[in-house]
Amino acid sequence: MSRHKLVFTALAFCLGLTGFLSAGDSGVNSKISGFIKFDGFYDSRQVTAAREGHFLLYPKAVSKNAQGDDVNDVNNINMVNFQTRVRINITAPEALGAKVTGLIEGDFFGASGGNEDELRLRHAIIKLDWRSRQLQIGQYWSPLFTPAVYPQVVSFNTGMPFQPFARNPQIRYTAKIGDGLSLMGAATMQRDAYEESGGRIQQQMAGVPGLHLFAELGGAKKLIGVGGHLRSIRPADSADVFTSTVLTAYGKMIGPKLAVRGKVIYGGDMTDQLMLGGYVADTLSSSIEYHPLKTLSTWLDITFPGKAFTLGLFGGYSTNLGVESELTSGTAYGFEARSPEITGLWRVSPRIIYNAGKLRFAFEMEITSALYTSGYDNNLAPKELSGDTRVTNIRGLFATYLFF
């Protein structure tokens, strides 16, 4: 069966399942929703990205050919539709004294490069809600993504790599304590996006899930939150398990004419969140030692909502800080990291969105700049040397949605 036949068969199955559940007398009801989406984009130079250049990270470094020309200093253009999305919300009869709901959501992004246009699982969750307590089991946003506070950009990268971006199979428990205060704990496993670094297998071999603890105060309009993540991996089957930690603080203020959201995140080995960083290995030691690379990232998103037109501006900054302690001079280390040579990575992206009923038209300009260095200090933090070059890409993105 061809790839496109598989796609339409899977979609027809989802639609048929929705009709079956809605029509049955089991007390289970469902509602289908989603959108059809078109994305057209232009880049002023070659970029590090996924899925035909659509999922943008940052511009590629200067790479000169025999004639001295930068082969990455050429533009690129594409049009895609694989962000089209289907969502099924399910309500079921109460069980164990809790309200029971479910969510299945997919798009056509594909689970890996080369599989664009294939149906992919985004979310698949079961919720049990006891009002003051909630248990959620299934695949959903990583707790570090913080669904209550994230950039409102048009681009599907959702502010990444300044903003953590991951979906994890997980068990999440939330307890509401007092007025507006909630505590959340979760155990998570890595998934699709981390195959590039082998991170999924490394976590499985560690025998320990990712552990998260978060606290939030506020509600839909005003909120502040703090959280932490403990990640354990075994980089090789003969290696010891090593851990890294991530800390974050975030908040939002939503008004009728102005909305402000922001986040700061600091931690080690954030490859699994599609951010800069990773770890280094002492390649000369008889028993290899691993050291997580620290990353500091922050972003601010401002929105000016309107009845028809909405304006917005996103700004982000990220840098590699190297390892926590200075390393012994003369010792050989190998990087297992995403672009450890980048420092001073920043982005500014203004946007304008027009809504007309179920239609939406959006335009966004992403200006992303990265400084690629050729040296490192004693902590293996990138250090700018003479001749190092900053490169900048300007992306123009036009998107059209039809919601249903």
**What residue spans define the domains of the chain?**
3-403
**4-18, 92-106, 120-134, 350-364 — which is least confidently predicted?**
4-18
Task: Count CB-CB contacts under 10 A for residue 240.
Answer: 12
Q: Which residue has the higher pLDDT, 232 or 7?
A: 232
pLDDT of residue 113: 74
Least confident of 8-17, 83-92, 327-336: 8-17
Mean pLDDT across 218-229 = 97
Q: What is the mean pLDDT of residues 278-297?
A: 85
Closest CA relative to residue 159, chosen from 25, 274, 61, 260? 274
- Where is pLDDT greater, at 159 or 190? 159
pTM above 0.85, yes or no: yes
Assess whether pLDDT exceeds 90 at residue 11.
no
Average pLDDT over residues 183-205: 80
How long, in residues, is the chain? 404
pLDDT tens-place string over residues 318-346:
999 999 887 765 567 888 899 999 999 99
Tell whether the model's pLDDT for residue 24 goes beyond 90.
no
Structure tokens at 15: 């639609």
pLDDT at 56: 95
pLDDT score for 329: 57
> What is the pLDDT, as a whole number, of residue 106?
96
In this predicted structure, what is the pLDDT of residue 330?
Answer: 54
Q: In what order do the strands lie in the sheet with 290-292?
A: 290-292, 277-282, 333-338
- Calculated CA dihedral for residues 272, 274, 277, 280, nearest 10 degrees: 40
Percent of the chain with pLDDT over 90: 76
CATH superfamily, domain 3-403, is: Porin (2.40.160.10)
The mean predicted confidence, pLDDT, of the chain is: 90
DSSP for 81-149, written as a single string: -TT-EEEEEEEEEEETTEEEEEEEEEESS-SSTT-TTS-EEEEEEEEEE-SSEEEEEEEEE-GGG-TTS
pLDDT value for 145:
97
- Least Cα distance to 82 among 149, 156, 169 occurs for 156
Q: Write the CB contacts of 166 (distance below 8 Å, at least 6 apart in sequence).
A: 141, 142, 144, 145, 190, 191, 193, 194, 272, 273, 274
Higher pLDDT, 205 or 345: 345
Q: Give the mean model confidence (pLDDT) for residues 276-295.
A: 84
How would residue 198 be classed by pLDDT, with cut points 50, 70 and 90?
low
